[in-house]
Amino acid sequence: MAPTATTVPVEQESSAARLEAAEQLPETLDAESLRKYFTLTERDLQEVAVCRGVVNKLGFAVQLCTLRWQGYFLGDTRGLPAPVLETLAHQLGLLPMSIDDYPQNEKTRWEHLERIRQHLRFQQCDDFQRQRLLKHLTETAQALPRSDALRQEAWRWLQEQRIVRPGRTTLRDLLTAAREGALQHAFALLARGLTAEQREQLDALLVVPSGGDVETQVGVVTEFWSRSGLEQYKALARKESPEALLSLLDRLTAILERGLATLPAIEAIHPATRRLLANWGYHYEVWSLRRFEPVKRHAIVLCFLRAALSETTDAVVEMQDKLITGVHNKARQRREEILRATQEACRRVIEALEEVGSLVLDESIPDAELRRDIFARLPRTDMELLVEGCRHLREGDDGSHLRFVTHWYPYTRRYSPKLLEVTPFRFISDPGARQGCGTP
């Protein structure tokens, strides 16, 4: 059900709760933190002494210590941790008490905060400082495109510059402008060198063939949904098999042949921004992507193709590893079966030798009838199997399963030529490197 006007999405509610918690003092503080952050200097005590009344003195001291420690003023001094009030009251020679009534009015609050700011030599976050912060965040947003990470960087920079942290709404607007500015810069870099033919190729990936170009309801997947080129690259690899690996290699070949995933312009974009744009490519439906401005749409598809290239390559390597591991497991199983059969053969050979020997040593059996009696006890076919088994017993086991791997050569041969063609091995040329070490 879509949220009504009074319904707050869970994600927004939890995000707001995290922001609110970040602008309050921790509920629990150890003795070392209390000593480090809530010890007043002589100059601090002189500033606090100017205040009148216990509540004002304690409130002033709390705000002073909070700004020095966290770089912002508390918007609400109700429900402060008792150890904080006790630590400050002890230094001020006052009784610890609740300061829910602090300040008595806005004038008092403004005067106190301004005096604390000047005392600690913090600067106001005025228009000039906000422009400085915006410039820094825009440059940083390439590496930190996520809102939470960028917000943490803003807090760090403000405290480092000794600038009082602005209100939540002001900071949110700055973060939004910085992220948008950084993304627009990335869009422009990616789209700048594209030819008309390359732009057509990117748009063609978002086209569903005739008969399937019908917008679906949110969350509904139809048969034709995966027919667009972009959606085909999102498909998960099937259970490992030569056919599945060949399908992945075909996908890898198709991505490489387009030449779009390896454009030099993509390298100019910070990996974090590339990941963000690629995630949009995975998240958005083709209908939504087609509604974006061309520069944004093309940038997203380019970064998606780069991610699809990496993921498909990884999937090829992983599936090849699983297939080879499966072959070796089967070879080991085959060797173990033969070893078990060999033990059984040893037992059977001993029994056969005992039977044949007893017949040979029986003087009552004429020589002319000996073969007949032997085959009567031990059929000729059984004798042939025993003789063959003896040859294997004489050869012995070399302790390795590798000689049995060749049995599955036709299995790996079904995909190995294509694998070597699409992902050729490149050997390290450094003379000091380990010989025989190559990478696909």
Q: Looking at the predicted structure, is the pLDDT value of residue 68 above 80?
A: yes
More confident residue, 350 or 88: 88
- Using 50, 70 and 90 to split pLDDT, how confident is the model at 380? confident
Average model confidence (pLDDT) across the chain: 82
- Using 50, 70 and 90 to split pLDDT, how confident is the model at 125? very high
Tens-digit pLDDT profile for residues 138-177:
999 988 888 899 999 999 999 999 999 999 999 999 999 9
Residue 368 vs residues 316, 327, 353, 378, 414: alpha-carbon distances, Å: 68, 52, 20, 17, 57
Tens-digit pLDDT profile for residues 181-225:
999 999 999 988 899 999 999 999 999 876 544 444 433 333 334
Q: Looking at the predicted structure, is the pLDDT value of residue 342 above 80?
A: no
Instruction: Give the contacts of 302 (CB within 8 A, at least 6 positions apart).
Output: 190, 202, 260, 261, 263, 265, 266, 277
The confidence score (pLDDT) of residue 435 equals 43
Kindly list the domain boundaries of the chain, sorted by start residue: 28-120, 127-192, 200-208+225-321, 325-428
Instruction: Give the contacts of 226 (CB within 8 A, at least 6 positions apart).
Output: 232, 234, 235
Segment 362-378 shows an average pLDDT of 81
Range of weakest confidence among 58-62, 86-90, 335-339, 403-407: 403-407
Whole-angstrom distance, CA of residue 315 vs CA of residue 237: 7
User: What percentage of the chain exceeds 90 in pLDDT?
Assistant: 46
Residue 250: other Cβ atoms inside 10 A? 13
Q: Looking at the predicted structure, is the pLDDT value of residue 265 above 80?
A: yes
pTM of the model: 0.66
Q: What are 100's two structure tokens?
A: 């829910």
Any bridge partners for residue 438, and if so which?
427
The confidence score (pLDDT) of residue 161 equals 96
Whole-angstrom distance, CA of residue 109 vs CA of residue 139: 35
The confidence score (pLDDT) of residue 182 equals 93
Tens-digit pLDDT profile for residues 2-46:
344 444 444 444 555 555 556 788 888 899 999 999 999 999 999
Check if the beta carbon of residue 56 is closer than 8 Å to that of residue 24.
Answer: no
The confidence score (pLDDT) of residue 325 equals 84
Helix (H, G, I), strand (E, B) or coil at 106: helix
User: What percentage of the chain exceeds 70 in pLDDT?
Assistant: 81
Check if the beta carbon of residue 342 is closer than 8 Å to that of residue 393.
Answer: yes
The confidence score (pLDDT) of residue 220 equals 35
Query: Any idea what DSSP says for residue 427?
Result: E
Q: Which helix (H) or strand (E) holds 316?
A: helix 294-361
The confidence score (pLDDT) of residue 427 equals 53
Q: What are 37's two structure tokens?
A: 């952050």
